Amino acid sequence: MRRLLPPTIALALVLAACSSDDEASSTTTPAPPTTAESAADPDQTDPDPTETTETTGTTGTTDPTGTDAGTIEWGPCDTPGPLECGALEVPLDHADPDGPQITIALTRLPASGAAADRIGSLVINPGGPGGSGVEAITTFAATIPTDVTEVFDLVGFDPRGVGESSAVTCDLVRDDGVELVTAGDRATWEAQLGRLLDQFATCTAEPAALLAAVGTNNAARDLDLIRAAVGDEQLTFLGFSYGTRLGATYAELFPDRVRALVLDGAVKPTTDLGSTFDEQVGGFDRAFGNFADACDADPDCILREIGPTRDVVAALRAEIAELGSFTTDDPDRVLTAAEFDLGIIAALYSREAWPFLAQGLYLAETNADGTLLQVLGDGYADRRADGTYSNLSEANAFINCADDPARPTVDEMWQRADALGDGSEFFGEYLRGTTGCLGLPDSADPLVLGPAEGAPPILVIGTTGDPATPYEWAIELADFLDSGVLYTVEAEGHTAYTRAACANDVVNAYLIDLELPEAGASCSENATTDFFPPAGSTAPEQVVAFADCLREEGLDIEPVTVADVLADPTGEQLFASIDPSDPADAAAVTACQDLLPG
């Protein structure tokens, strides 16, 4: 995931959806309160969260700092494999550690090396806000270099309000009800705002006060309890996108408890989150322009058969506006105009997705087929194979708005949304759907923002072609932090570590040995312009057919969807169970290999 959702928070909410717990999401509750009864006073002196007493369901342990802290009882996860799952009880209000408790869900991959070489735990946040670290740890286990996984336990967690932790759930419209807003069309915007406010009135949490207590300050305090519970005197943390906000907040609150922080895909250091939208829009415009230029210059880009990329997209927007939608392979779903833009935005997060975006646009132009673009958007919105969604979208809205004290009026928000649309070269009508924090609780504990004085050096990674967190934000965050060190990666896509090979050695050296790059250091992943596979390369549908064939030949592999292929383009995880040395596996591959080109 590793992302900060685009500035159309409310529009993404409607497109994305809500809890995977259908029973919970169908329950109607009163509108969310405007304040939390037990929310922490932002001006209070922060207590040491390791001084909490033992909580129900945990056993006491001694934190290396010498204070008592809760423990995590690790056990097997539901799915087979080396991952371990656990939970930690934390206070709803850290100023009242003996008060109501909430649950933080965790997943751990134990270090694979010798026990004597183990450094500690590497705690990871994949972004969002609203991204599930519990789910993401499976991907990180496969992509983080073995130099790191040999000496660190990888620990993922769902922050408060998210996923398997005590979560925010809403009954949100998923696949319909969203229209693009043209310049000056306030009537359509207000109609969508009304529907959204009705849906926000269904949002609930257990306990109810959690709705206004899901902000990053509390998540950072929870993170310190996790640090203590895994037995580390100081925190080693890897944060992507929104995770950089969480990591920077932790460093400000607990500078002496930091061992190493990697902040990759930096979020702008500001409490006025709404003010960042213009810059983020510029990041997506720049990324789309880079995609279009690369496609137009590459003879292997399939869109060249039709025309210049920008012209193709403009023609498709006009066509879908006239038709109302494009068909998909799912007879119960169509691709709407808003989903068309969402599919493009999703693909801009990763250079590896550019070929799929080109193919999706080609299919839409030649066959009015929106299947592949919808798959891209579904992955972005965390839509599952069964049609349900994670609670990414509502968690994203509630966490961002808990951090941001600003509450524009309806008039001010419309003016901002209309201006956002005017300011975007490619996504104007999509962005005019922005409704910000209208209808959400007032911020009871606004984001704590500070330079983290006294913290050890903090490594900030910025990617020059990052669409979601523009490179300029990495420069700002590194300058803002008292001990920030910037490392620049010249590449396309959102975040760098594990995506850009040239960044891996730098991050590994910092995490393991606390070695930092020289001031102003950088590396480049843009040496090649060969972004698109040559004609005859494997398409996602061919990989799906190949997997189906293997199953028919008797191999015990899970069904594969186009979305699975997009998430694992190399097939390393999809086909990890195949053993070429096994005669039965080899025979099945031989029987099915004609389904793949080359």
453 and 565 share one domain: no
Which is catalytic among the residues 63, 298, 350, 494? 494
pLDDT of residue 275: 79
pLDDT of residue 171: 78
**Is residue 573's pLDDT more than 70?**
no
320 within domain boundaries: yes
436 and 565 share one domain: no
3 state SS of 238: strand
> Which of 198-207, 511-520, 575-584 is predicted with the least confidence, judged by mean pLDDT?
575-584
582 and 455 share one domain: no
Count structural domains, the chain: 2
Asked which of 523, 551, 571 is the last residue of a domain, the reply is: 523
pLDDT digits (tens, 9 = 90+) for 260-274: 999 999 999 998 887
pLDDT of residue 49: 44
355 and 398 share one domain: yes
320 and 381 share one domain: yes
pLDDT digits (tens, 9 = 90+) for 231-241: 999 999 999 99
Which is catalytic among the residues 285, 466, 564, 585? 466
387 and 284 share one domain: yes
> Which of 142-151, 373-382, 589-598 is predicted with the least confidence, judged by mean pLDDT?
589-598
Q: How confident is the model at residue 28 (pLDDT cuts 50, 70, 90)?
A: very low
3 state SS of 106: strand
**Is residue 144's pLDDT more than 70?**
yes
pLDDT of residue 587: 74
**CA distance readout (Å), 410 to 63, 87, 200, 395:** 48, 41, 16, 22
179 and 250 share one domain: yes
pLDDT of residue 336: 93
559 and 481 share one domain: no
Instruction: Evaluate whether 168 touches 391 at the Cβ level (below 8 Å).
Output: yes
pLDDT of residue 570: 57
Asked which of 523, 548, 567 is the last residue of a domain, the reply is: 523
**Is residue 127's pLDDT more than 70?**
yes
pLDDT of residue 73: 93
pLDDT of residue 491: 94
More confident residue, 208 or 31: 208
445 within domain boundaries: yes
504 and 577 share one domain: no
Asked which of 497, 523, 549 is the last residue of a domain, the reply is: 523
pLDDT digits (tens, 9 = 90+) for 363-397: 999 999 999 999 999 988 888 878 888 899 899 99
More confident residue, 182 or 129: 129
148 and 186 share one domain: yes
528 within domain boundaries: no
More confident residue, 91 or 548: 91
**Is residue 34's pLDDT more than 60?**
no
514 within domain boundaries: yes
Non-local (6+) Cβ contacts of 457 within 8 A are: 483, 484, 485, 514, 516
Instruction: Evaluate whether 158 touches 164 at the Cβ level (below 8 Å).
Output: yes
183 and 268 share one domain: yes
What would the DSSP string read from start to end of 482-500?
Answer: TTEEEEEEEEESS--TTTS
Quote the radius of gyration of the chain (alpha carbons, Å).
23
- How many CB atoms lie under 10 A from the CB of residue 584? 11
241 is catalytic: yes
3-state helix, strand, coil in the chain (%, to 5): 40, 15, 45
Q: Give the mean pLDDT of 22-47.
A: 32
Q: How confident is the model at residue 493 (pLDDT cuts 50, 70, 90)?
A: very high
534 within domain boundaries: no
Domain holding 146: CATH number?
3.40.50.1820
The verdict on pTM exceeding 0.85 is no
pLDDT of residue 525: 85
pLDDT of residue 8: 35
415 within domain boundaries: yes
pLDDT of residue 43: 37
More confident residue, 561 or 462: 462
76 within domain boundaries: yes
3 state SS of 173: coil
To 5 degrees, how large is the angle CA 223–CA 499–CA 265?
50
403 is catalytic: no
**Is residue 45's pLDDT more than 50?**
no
133 within domain boundaries: yes
Q: How confident is the model at residue 23 (pLDDT cuts 50, 70, 90)?
A: very low
94 is catalytic: no
> What is the overall mean pLDDT for the chain?
84
pLDDT digits (tens, 9 = 90+) for 305-330: 999 999 999 999 999 999 999 999 99
Structural domain range at position 586? 540-595
Which is catalytic among the residues 20, 241, 390, 443? 241
213 and 240 share one domain: yes
